[in-house]
Structure 1
Amino acid sequence: MADSNFDGVVERLGAALGEIVKGDPAPFQALFAKNDEVTLANPFGGVSRGWDNVTTTVAKAAAIYRDGEVISLENQATAVVGDLAYVVLIERFRVRVAGRADLDDVALRTTNIYRREGNEWLLVHRQADPRVGEQTPESVVQ
């Protein structure tokens, strides 16, 4: 299901991802709604809730990345229903992680939930993890 007002959301996310993998958190932070209900489950663990906590978590993630570039955003599913929408992506990028000398390939499975606020679609929840491929049943045991 498509909504012409939703067009461009994935491109905006990709552009912001392109900046965060270079160490700049600001464009990615700007994707989020500015309220206490917004949440982020980033690939480094935990769940942040509220604008202040989410932007702090995004800044910490940006500090881990350097010299990156986005390789692809593979859209797995998109739906728009009224003022809510979601996009499920596989995000692939090359980046230096945590001061490593070499560029590494990174792939994240993400779910991005948006709410329309005025004429703008803003993230209200993002979940990202590196579990892109199939996992063994034992992989869920802690």
Structure 2
Amino acid sequence: MGGPEVDQVFTELEDAIAGYHHALDVFVTGDPEPQKKMFSTSEDVTLGNPLGPPGRGREAVEGIMDRAAAVLRDGEPTTFERISGRAVHDMAYIVEIERTRAKVAGSSQLTPVALRVTTVFCRENGYWKVLHRQADTIVSARPAESLIQS
């Protein structure tokens, strides 16, 4: 059912995901620049991370990345546990658990960081780019009461 053209698209997507993962390894050292290059230039680009509300548009997304990278340093390479993923035409998504260790804020100790992440990719000018990333710290079951805001 695949064929050479479909196989090429999946190869390009997997290559883009590998580049995205590498950029995340660099991100946890405090450098957001490689990650910025992985994101779409579209004004529809969005980013939500555990440190604040989601942002939309290239300027907002880059600001979110800069703020998050500013509180990380000396991070170790991230491991990625793929939960799910799918590609259809020019859109794709992956759901992963990302695990790393980094010095967070003013801490002098490496701290484990685990994130549940959904990433949406789109083809832009012939390349796969991140159109949306949503990350949070929920990687294990929580009681229903945890939803209640006080």
Q: Normalised by the size of structure 2, how large is the TM-score?
A: 0.90
The answer as to 2:124 corresponding to 1:121 is: no
The answer as to 2:17 corresponding to 1:29 is: no
Q: Normalised by the size of structure 1, how large is the TM-score?
A: 0.95
Larger strand share, 1 or 2:
1
2:88 to 81, 84, 89: 81
Q: What's 2:26 paired with?
A: 19
2:109 to 99, 102, 109: 102
In the aligned structure 1, how far is the partner of 2:78 from the partner of 2:125? 32
Q: Describe the SS at the equivalent of 1:30.
A: helix
Q: What's 2:59 paired with?
A: 52
Deviations 1:66-106 (A, max 9, x none): 00012411111110000000011100001000010110000
Q: Describe the SS at the equivalent of 2:140.
A: coil
Which sections of structure 1, spanning at least 5 residues, go unmatched? none
In the aligned structure 1, how far is the partner of 2:17 from the partner of 2:103? 23
Larger helix share, 1 or 2:
2
In the aligned structure 2, how far is the partner of 1:11 from the partner of 1:4? 11
Q: CA deviation at 1:8?
A: 1.8
Question: Does the 8 Å CA contact 1:13/1:28 hold for their aligned counterparts?
Answer: yes
Matched residues, number: 142
- Alignment RMSD (CA, Å): 1.4
Larger Rg: 2
Question: Does the 8 Å CA contact 1:37/1:49 hold for their aligned counterparts?
Answer: yes
Question: Does the 8 Å CA contact 2:48/2:54 hold for their aligned counterparts?
Answer: yes
Question: Does the 8 Å CA contact 1:113/1:126 hold for their aligned counterparts?
Answer: yes
Question: Does the 8 Å CA contact 2:25/2:78 hold for their aligned counterparts?
Answer: no
Q: CA deviation at 1:5?
A: 2.3
Question: Does the 8 Å CA contact 1:14/1:70 hold for their aligned counterparts?
Answer: no
Which sections of structure 2, spanning at least 5 residues, go unmatched? none
Aligned residues: percent identity? 39
Q: Describe the SS at the equivalent of 2:74.
A: strand
Q: Structure 1 stretches (4+) deviating beyond 6 angstroms?
A: none
